[in-house]
């Protein structure tokens, strides 16, 4: 089969682990050049080393804090300087703060930090990424949201849920704004995943089971499964898909969200 991302350049934030690392691996296997972005230099470089071992000369690491405008501008500049173009932007970096709770318990610092990374980081990625993708003739933007943006969480995490709801609204508007410019924008909404980020938040067996009992498939999802969904949204196979909430959640929203 032909490579699904042949001759494409993809920038992935949060590339140091979880969904980001799995996506970098998969995109590279499908022919893409990879710009792996993370705040943690060690884990980000590990991702690049893994990709380079399989596909020499196809990946670079860029250290960036997605909440900082200059860093986001620099990561896009690095993509164009190294590979000449940018076709796919995966705004995937995010945090889930252990101190995030309900409106009473969540501090303003936790709120501001979560919004800065999870929502402002997506905005800044698009602010600098959109012009680059348009310069390349078009492409795809994928923003990581969450199933909790659609239904709320059984374990309170107000700042996280609000930030991901904002990602959905931002995605919809950008999709409409750029629909006639060969630029598609979609939100990936993962369900509960067996990643380090979620497992550190659901830090007791009771919390894990409280989440799992709501998942019809009866298990946590895998980061590799989210990477497969991102690949579909990045590739030409999804050429008629824009402005969507692409839900990959083990059935949890189907079980609890009813149409109006």
70-80 pLDDT, tens per residue? 999 999 999 99
**CATH number, position 21:** 3.40.50.720
Beta-strand ranges (E) seen in 52-125 are 59-63, 88-91
Q: Which pLDDT belongs to residue 148?
A: 92
Place of tokens 């920038």: 11
Distance of alpha carbon 107 from alpha carbon 120, whole angstroms: 18
List active site positions. 160
Let me know if residue 160 belongs to a domain. yes
- Condensed to tens digits (0 to 9), the pLDDT of residues 179-216 reads 999 999 999 999 888 777 776 767 777 777 777 778 88
pLDDT at 212: 76
Low-confidence ranges of the chain (pLDDT < 50): none
Range of the domain at 140: 9-248
d(CA 23, CA 37): 12
Considering the domain boundaries, does residue 164 fall inside one?
A: yes
56 located within any domain: yes
**Domains: count for the chain:** 1
Look at residue 94 and tell me if it is in a domain.
yes
Rounded to the nearest 10°, the torsion over CA 252, 96, 205, 227 is 50
């Amino acid at each position: 089969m032909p490579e699904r991302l042949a001759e494409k350049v993809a920038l992935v934030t949060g590339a140091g682990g979880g969904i980001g690392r799995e996506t970098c691996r998969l995109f590279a296997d499908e022919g893409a050049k990879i710009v792996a972005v993370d705040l943690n230099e060690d884990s980000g470089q590990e991702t690049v080393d893994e990709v380079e071992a399989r596909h020499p000369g196809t990946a670079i690491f860029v250290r960036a804090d997605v909440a900082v405008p200059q860093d986001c501008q620099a990561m896009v500049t690095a993509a164009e300087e190294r590979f000449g173009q940018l076709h796919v932007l995966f705004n995937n970096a995010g945090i889930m703060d252990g101190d995030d709770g309900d409106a009473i318990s969540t501090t303003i610092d936790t709120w501001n930090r979560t919004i800065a990374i999870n929502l402002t980081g997506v905005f800044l990625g698009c602010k600098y990424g959109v012009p680059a993708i348009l310069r390349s003739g078009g492409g795809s933007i994928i923003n990581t949201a969450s199933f909790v943006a659609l239904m709320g969480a059984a374990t309170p995490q107000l700042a996280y849920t609000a930030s991901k709801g904002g990602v959905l609204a931002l995605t919809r508007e950008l999709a409409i704004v750029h629909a006639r410019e060969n630029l598609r924008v979609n939100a990936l909404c993962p369900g509960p995943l067996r990643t380090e980020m979620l497992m550190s938040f659901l830090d007791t067996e009771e919390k894990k089971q409280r989440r799992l009992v709501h998942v019809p498939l009866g298990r946590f999802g895998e980061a590799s499964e989210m990477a497969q969904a991102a690949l579909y949204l990045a590739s030409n196979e999804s050429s008629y898909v824009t402005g969507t909430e692409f839900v990959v959640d083990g059935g949890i929203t189907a079980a609890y969200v009813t149409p109006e």
